[in-house]
Copies of this chain bind each other. A is one copy, B any other.
Amino acid sequence: MYAAERQREILAQARALGRVEVNALATDLGVTPETIRRDLSALVRAGALQRAHGGAIPVERLVGFEPEIRSRTAVLSDEKQRIAHAALAEIPENGTIFLESGSTPAALAELLPADQPLTVVTTSLTIALALATRPRLTVLIIGGRVRGRTLAAVDDWALRDLASAQVDVAFLGTNGFSAAGGLTTPDVAEAAVKRAALGVGRRTVLLADHSKLGVSCLCRYGSLSDVDLLITDEIAEDEAAELTGAGPQVRQA
């Protein structure tokens, strides 16, 4: 049995069972534990496994707490579509906009008209990638450390780049918002960027579906009065009134 075959078998077993053990594999595959260890470290180097004492587990078992990027776009896609559609009315003609990272701004990015010139500034790798090849669009990406979970630029460079930018309309997403609790997000670094983003547009539009309403996360980075317009989907009458009282105009898509 070749090393490559053995490693494939190990990986298959790890994925099927959720874990593998050095000694079991050794007797199973008829080689010494040392050989298995070498295979495991090769698989670790390839990024397929994470090592543990006496064995290993596949990396996909190690997903963290914040939802993954892919699963998030699937959730609530219908509401986000409607919100993005409503946001289209706010796009300036031949101007500049800022799109934050997040699935709702990403939905808006997909809907941007292809026939009119527009400059888009974004912290999101995926948005930049999706828009970069469109002929009439100028895409500017904000620099910085790329968070693996959200694929957004954060930290030093991001704050500096944002500080030197000024756009017509900024479209922001959020993880949680309420009249009392303001705007919140779970990550400190991302909160700093979001705070800076609140100042980047002459007009600030928050895109947030009803599932974010009332949610409060670790970091508060601003309040609703920093927002000029909130576009959301169906929310209760009294809640809408309360939000309007806190500052922004509220539009329901």
Q: Are B161 and A143 in contact (CB under 8 A)?
A: yes
- Residue interface bits A134-150, CB-to-B below 8 A is 1, else 0: 11001111111111100
A47 x B114 contact (CB < 8 A): yes
Interface of A is mostly: mixed
Which residue of chain B has the shortest Cβ distance to A165 in the bound complex? B157
Is A236 located at the chain interface by the 8 A CB criterion? Answer: no
Count of chain copies: 2
Question: B52–A2 contact, CB under 8 A?
Answer: yes
| Chain A stretch 107-154: residues in CB contact (< 8 A) with chain B | 113-115, 125-126, 128-129, 132-135, 138-148, 151, 153
Tell whether, in the assembled complex, residue B125 and residue A132 are in contact, meaning their CB atoms are under 8 Å apart. yes
A181 in contact (CB, < 8 A): no
In the complex, are the beta carbons of A115 and B146 less than 8 A apart?
Answer: no
The residues of B that contact A44 with a CB separation of less than 8 Å are 114-115
Q: How far in angstroms is the closest Cβ of chain B from A32? A: 17
- In the complex, the answer to whether A129 meets B129 with C-beta atoms within 8 Å is yes
Contact in complex: A62, B148 (CB < 8 Å): no
- With known contacts A57-B4, A65-B8, A125-B125, A146–B140 Cβ distance under 8 A: yes
User: Which of A41, A44, A147, A153 counts the most chain B CB atoms within 10 A?
Assistant: A153
Query: For window 208-237 of chain A, which residues contact chain B by CB distance below 8 Å?
Result: none
B151 A132 Cβ-Cβ under 8 A: yes
